[in-house]
Chains A and B, each alone.
Chain A
């Protein structure tokens, strides 16, 4: 039972263009969402997050959009740079439950083509 789904295992984007990574969730209790970036042989690092009271959060080149009715979120990276090549994990949690870890998707491998 996968509560957080990233349906694209990989995505290839040309340098300078926009990268859009998608994520769907099924648990309506989730109210806080995060994106993590992971390079090979390293641990995931936090990128950006969004609370369910918002529908957009922006930080530099990174913007996360949340569509609660569709239970869908997306991460936009613009412009894409070679250093953005990594695996991106979508994660979700329910703040009401308190003592919980994050539920992660399987990740999307983003490849930025020069």
Chain B
């Protein structure tokens, strides 16, 4: 399967724990985007990364959230000290280039905070 791979599919955390969401882009894609979908809401842009660089993090909450896309390995979205309001579906997407490229999405990680 050469599509965008996200894991885990479901992640359950207690308040105050850390959540790590992983995303491997499609083969040949070097641009990664993270989106969050809250219940009854659309997809909200969080962050856009290229290898080893954060290009745009304007949609990322200023505290507790961080993202990286290292030279080797998947992109990681990290949420520290999770709260109930972080419960959502987190989608990763990748593209070959930037600026008008269509995005290919993974199946998402459903984060549930107890």
A residues contacting B by CB (< 8 A) are 4, 6, 31-32, 34, 36, 41-46, 49, 51, 89, 93-107
Task: Find chain A residues with CB under 8 A from B42 CB.
Answer: 4, 6, 89, 104-107
B residues contacting A by CB (< 8 A) are 4, 6, 33, 35, 40-45, 48, 55-56, 59, 91, 93, 98-100, 102-108
Contact in complex: B107, A42 (CB < 8 Å): yes
11 pairs of residues in contact across A and B, judged by CB atoms under 8 Å: A31-B100, A34-B102, A36-B105, A49-B102, A89-B43, A95-B99, A98-B99, A100-B48, A101-B35, A103-B45, A104-B43
Contact in complex: A99, B107 (CB < 8 Å): no
- Pick from B41, B55, B100, B107: contact of A93, CB under 8 Å: B100
Separation in Å of the B52 CB from the closest CB of chain A? Answer: 15
- Complex Cα gap A32–B45 (Å): 17
Separation in Å of the B110 CB from the closest CB of chain A? Answer: 8
- Pick from A4, A89, A97, A107: contact of B99, CB under 8 Å: A97
Task: Find chain B residues with CB under 8 A from A101 CB.
Answer: 33, 35, 45, 48, 56, 59, 93, 103
Separation in Å of the A114 CB from the closest CB of chain B? Answer: 26
Knowing A43-B4, A89-B43, A107-B42 are in contact, say whether A100-B91 is a contact too (CB < 8 A): no
Contact in complex: B108, A43 (CB < 8 Å): yes
Contact in complex: A95, B45 (CB < 8 Å): no
Task: Find chain A residues with CB under 8 A from B59 CB.
Answer: 101
- Complex Cα gap A46–B108 (Å): 15
Name the residue on A nearest B10 (C-beta).
Answer: A41
- Complex Cα gap A98–B104 (Å): 17
Knowing A99-B55, A100-B48, A101-B48 are in contact, say whether A46-B43 is a contact too (CB < 8 A): no
- Complex Cα gap A4–B41 (Å): 12
Contact in complex: B100, A41 (CB < 8 Å): no
Separation in Å of the A7 CB from the closest CB of chain B? Answer: 12
